Structures are given as structure tokens and as C-alpha cells.
Structure 1
Amino acid sequence: MKKVLLITDVDFWQKNSGHRTRIAALIKYLSGQTQLTIVIACPVHESAETIIAGNLNAEFHVLEKNGILNSTGYARRLKKFIKGRFFDAVIIEYIHCSYFLNVLEDGTNVILDAHDIISDRAEEFKKHNYAGALYEISRETEVNIFNVFDHVMVLCQPDYDRVKQIMGAGNVLLCPHPVDYKQYVINEDVKNIVFVGSAYVPNVDAINFFINECWPSIAAKYPVLLNIYGTVCHELSIATTSGIRLNGFVTDTDQIYAGADIVINPVRFGAGLKIKNIEALAYGVPLITTTHGARGLEAGLNNCMLIADTAHEFTDAVELLINDFPLRRQFSFNAQKLIETHFSAKKCFDPLMAVL
């Protein structure tokens, strides 16, 4: 088996946001296909170590358990850990961790798991008056760093097309997020509309937009509840009598989606692939999202999801699905085909395994 080193500063075992879930899925897959070593560049509590060790078929090493080091400190510890060890490939999670390249031996096959194109994300945030809210990088710097790597992994076709222009088709890997399809009964009557999100700025913006611009007219016409899940709830203040329930973070996604009749994701900006949209489709729940939210899901447009970009469009889409049970049932059936065709673990990670 190939020996692979994966380096991350993300507490992926938490799984309370899309990027954590994505890294956990990649690690799970690689641990069954390669001899995997994971280096963690963030604090790890003893209880978390137990969780990591119990869930992974891989070696893992924490560079510093109790605090946060600067980049020089982490790089020195990595250099010490890998001294005398050989890896067929090294995967670095996120471009901001590219400084680890400085301690790798020349000739090492290095792969960047980019997740997002950061310069694109920065432009999107700026358009919506959130400039500086997250780590930013110039397009020129990002392109230069991409070209230091042997391969760059991205999660959706639009990002693949952009990076391909920079590096060439042979150096960019399209590796979306894998999910397993889980069929639940589609109820004839809609009772629960569901939104799932972390406290990520675009999620907070999205659900506030829906609550303020769409929910009043929907709630006035239909006896439905808006159930909100995830750490996004910490950023909201909603009266319990408004037909909106703040459920917080729930570890069991089955619990969330088994009771969902419609899933909404009115996200208006950000970057990359929306993991929550993939999850909703994997559970066969009819989805309403925006043009931005559908990036990487183009094969499902008007097939297992509806697209709405304005408050009026979103309200109309919700009402359409509430009133059209056969359409919701058809969307659920179509979602199964989309997931099985495009988002199985093998389909998502075959490009990576080919270069390994």
C-alpha cells in the first residue's frame, strides 16, 4: 500500500461544519486504501485523542496538544517527526498550511487539498460587505502557490475549470464530497422545513435573509415549522413562538433529515461545494438553494432541487413544493440517481487514487 501523510490544522473529528466533514470523509477513505499517517497542527484534548484513535485505521501524531504554535514552531516539529521516514505522497489541507512544504524533502509528491479558491471567496465576501472576515490571499499569490504543488484537489467543476487554466488538466483533481444515499419516506403533507449550518458568515447571512424576507408570508399561509440545526443557531435570536425552532448542533444527521420535508439553503455568497446540499440530496429530501449554492450540483438542477435567488423566488419555490407532493417524490427519486452517479466515495476519490 502507498504511504500517505496528511497534514491538517482542522479539528476534523468534530464534524460540526462542512469542511470538517469533508476532511473526515477523505481520511476515512484513505485509511482504507493507503497506509495513512495524519499530522494534526492544532490542540487536541485527551478525550478527542480517544475519539480519533477509536475511529481511524491510521497513525496520527499531534504536533502540540495543549496550545497553538506559530508556523515556524509547527514546521520544526513536523521536520523532527518525519525525519528518516518515507511517504509516497503528502496531502496538505488548505493553502494557508503550505508553509509545511519548507520542511519536506525535494522530490516529495505534494498535493494541496484546496477546498476553496480563496481569492474567489475573498471577492465574494467583499461584494457582500464582509471583506476581511476570513483569511484572504491575492489571486497572484494563490496561483504561485498552486504551481508549487504537484496536484491541487478541488471539490466542484467550476473550481476545477478555473484551476485547470492555471496548472493544466493533469495537475488538478476534481474530488467532491462523498455521501451514501439514504432513502426516507416522503410525507404527503409538509410539516418541517429544515436549514442546517455552522456559524460560518454566509450561513448566518442566508438564514437571516430567509427568516426576514421569506418566512413571514410562508408561516402565514401554511402550518409548517422552520427547524434550524447547527452552530449557526448561536448567531440567531428568534422567538420560540414564531414557528421557528433553534435546535443547535445535532451529532446524528439521521435525526435531522428523517424529519425534514423540505431543505433550504439560501446561501448568497462563499466558495466551493456546499456539503449540506449534498447531505440533503443523499437523504432524498427535496432541496431549494441558490445559483451559488448549486455550484458543483449542476446535474441536479430542476431535477432534484429548485433554484431561487430572490425572496420572491424562494417563497414561490417553497410554496410549490408544499403543494406538489408528486414533485417532491420525484425529486427524491432523482436525488438517489444523482448521488449514486456522481458522489459515491469511489467516484469522488478515484482521481486522487490514480495519482497515488
Structure 2
Amino acid sequence: MKKILLLTDVKFWEKCSGDRIRIEELIRFLSTMVKLTVVATGPAPLDIEHFLSLNYAAEFLILEHKKILSSAGYGRRLQKHLKDESFDTVIIEYVHSSYFLNYLQFEAQIILDAHDIVSERGAEFSQYGFAGALYELSSDDEMKLFKLYDYVMLLCKPDQELIKNVIGIEKALLCAHPVPPVTRKLRKKAEKIAFVASAYIPNRDAINWFIRECWPAITDQHQVQLFIYGTVGYELDIQERNDIKVMGFWPDRDSIYNDSDIMINPVRFGAGLKIKNIEALANGLPLVTTTHGARGIESAIDHAFLVGDGTAFAQQLNLLIGNYKLRKKLVGNARAYVEANYSAENCFQSLLNAIL
């Protein structure tokens, strides 16, 4: 059986953001196919390795439980813990963790799970006044780092297209986010609109923009409530009122979907695949998002979900609220779309082909 090492600084056990959920799904899938060792930088709870080993068929190691170390500090810890160990493949989560390449003491196939194109994200952030808010790379520097890897995993087709001419299409692996479809009873009267998000800057911008620019046009026509779930709620300066409920983080996402009628994602900028959109489609609820939110799933626009930018977002949401037949049709199409494109086998087959 192949031995795979996965290196990350993401607290994937805290399922409060899309990247955490995506990494957790990757670990779950790989642990059934290979002998998997997952090393996380930390900090982390002292008993987390034991907890994780009970839930996944993999070995887990935290490099530092109590404090944040420098890159060199984590690298030295990695060398110490993996002394005399070897692996067939190493997967590194995110390009900013490429410093780990300097501390591998064995020959192995090296794969980057890029998630997003950082240089593209930086350009988007800059357009909306958030330049320098997150880790940034120039396009040239990012592509130089990509070339250090045997393969680069990407979540959506547009990102694969962006780098295929740099590293070669055979090395640009399309590995989206898998979600099993769920059938739910769709209520004829739509009363609860939901937004589920982390405190990531584009999410905060999205819901603030929606409440300011769209929500009045919704409540003028319909008696509905907006429910805001996730850590995004902790970063908002919104006074709770009868028609807006800030719910905070709910670990039971299934209960969120059971209690909601329509999902929204009014995101205006960012990068990569919007995992919350895939999860909404898979969880049996109609979705309204933006052109940016539909990045990577454009083929399903007006078939599995609706898109609207600016004032058109409110128009599309009003349309869905008042049209049960349309909501039902979209949900049925969304299930078929997810089944065809977002099974774990479909999402990770190119990775398996590379490592097995």
C-alpha cells in the first residue's frame, strides 16, 4: 500500500470554513485508499491526535500544541518527527506552506493542493479595497513555486485553465470538493433565507452588501427572515432584529439545511470554487449566487441555481421565493448535477491516478 504524507497548517477538524471541510474530505477519502499520515503545524488541543485517529483510518501528528512557531521551527520539528521515515507521495496544503519542501529528507513525489490561485485572489481583493489583507504572491512567483511540484491540485476548471500552459495540463489536477446529495422535503412557502459562511473577508463583504442593497427589496415583497450561520456572524456589526437572525457557528450543518428554504451566496470577489455553493446544491435547497460565486460551475447556471449581480440578485431571490415550482425544478436539477460531478471518486480520481 502506498504511503502518503499530508502536510497542513489548517485546523481541518474545526469544520467552520470551506477549506477545512475540503481538507477533511480529502483526508477521509485518502485514508480508505492509502496508508496516510497527516501532519499539522498546530497549535492544537493536546488530545486531538487521539480524537482524529478514532474518526479516520490515518495517523496524525501535531508539530506544536501550545504556540505558533516560525516556518523554520515547524520545518525542524518535521525533520525530527519523521527521522528515518519515507513516503511515496507528499501532499502540501496551500502554496504558502511550500517551505516544507526544504525539510523533506527523502525522495518522493510532491503534490501541491493549491485550493486557490493566490495571485488571482490578490488581484480580486485589491479591486475591492482589501489589498494586502491576506498572504499575497505575484503571478510570476506563484508559477515558479508551482513548477517545483510534480502535480498541482485545483478545485475548479477556470483555475486549471490558468496554469495548464505553465506546468502542463497533465500536471494540473482538477480535484473539486465532494458532497453526497441529500433529498429534503421542500416547503411550498419559502420563509427562511440562509447564508452559511466563515469570517473570510469576501463573506463579510457579501452579507453586509446583501443586507444593505438587497434585503429591503426582498422584505418589501415577502414576509421572510434572513438567518446568518457560521463564524461570519461574529465579525458583523449587525443589530439583530425580527427579520435578521445572527445564529453563529452550528456544527450540525444538516440541521441548518433542514430549517432553511433558500440558500444565498452574494459573494462579489475572492478566488476558486465556492464550496458553500456546492454544499447548498447537494443539500436539496435552491440557491441564488452571483456571477463570481458561479465560477467553476457555470454550466449549471439557470439549470441548477440562479445567478444575479447588483439589483438582479434581489430580483432572482424574489422570483424564487414566490415560485415553488421553479424551486422544486432547480433542486431536482441540482441533485443530478451533483451526482454527475461531485462524488468523491469523481473529484479525486485524477489524484488517485497520480499517486497509485
Written as runs of structure 1 = structure 2, the 5 A alignment for 1:56-71 is 56-71=56-71
Identity of aligned residues (%): 49
Displacement of 1:27: 0.5
Q: Which moved more, 1:64-73 or 1:16-25?
A: 64-73
Q: TM-score, normalised by structure 2?
A: 0.98
TM-superposition CA deviations, 1:280-325 (whole Å, max 9, x none)? 0011211110111011112211101111111x10111011101111
Q: Which residue of 1 aligns with 2:230?
A: 230
Q: How many residues align?
A: 355
TM-superposition CA deviations, 1:43-89 (whole Å, max 9, x none)? 11124334322212111111111111111111111112222212110
Rounded to whole Å, the distance in 2 between the matches of 1:181 and 1:105 is 42
TM-superposition CA deviations, 1:84-129 (whole Å, max 9, x none)? 2121100000011101111224642000000000000000000000
Question: Aligned partner of 1:318: which letter?
Answer: L
Q: TM-score, normalised by structure 1?
A: 0.98
More helix by share: 1
1:341 aligns with 2:337: no
RMSD over equivalenced CA pairs, Å = 1.1
SS at match of 1:13: coil
Contact 2:86 2:106 in 1 (8 A): no
Question: Aligned partner of 2:194: which letter?
Answer: V
Displacement of 1:242: 4.4
Q: Which residue of 2 aligns with 1:281?
A: 281
TM-superposition CA deviations, 1:125-169 (whole Å, max 9, x none)? 000000011111111110100000000000000001111111001
1:200 aligns with 2:200: yes
Q: Which residue of 2 aligns with 1:157?
A: 157
Rounded to whole Å, the distance in 2 between the matches of 1:248 and 1:182 is 23
Rounded to whole Å, the distance in 2 between the matches of 1:321 and 1:266 is 15
Contact 1:7 1:40 in 2 (8 A): yes
Query: Which ranges of structure 2 fall in alignment gaps of 5 or more residues?
Result: none
Show structure 1 runs of 4+ deviating over 4 A.
none
SS at match of 2:181: coil
Question: Aligned partner of 1:333: which letter?
Answer: G
Contact 2:265 2:288 in 1 (8 A): yes
Q: Which moved more, 1:45-54 or 1:111-120?
A: 45-54
Contact 1:284 1:331 in 2 (8 A): no
Question: Aligned partner of 1:140: which letter?
Answer: D
Q: Which moved more, 1:257-266 or 1:144-153?
A: 257-266
Rounded to whole Å, the distance in 2 between the matches of 1:239 and 1:220 is 19
Written as runs of structure 1 = structure 2, the 5 A alignment for 1:323-338 is 323-338=322-337
Contact 1:13 1:51 in 2 (8 A): no
Contact 2:49 2:60 in 1 (8 A): no
Q: Which residue of 2 aligns with 1:52?
A: 52
Contact 2:49 2:61 in 1 (8 A): no
Contact 1:196 1:228 in 2 (8 A): yes
Rounded to whole Å, the distance in 2 between the matches of 1:157 and 1:141 is 22
Q: Which residue of 2 aligns with 1:190?
A: 190
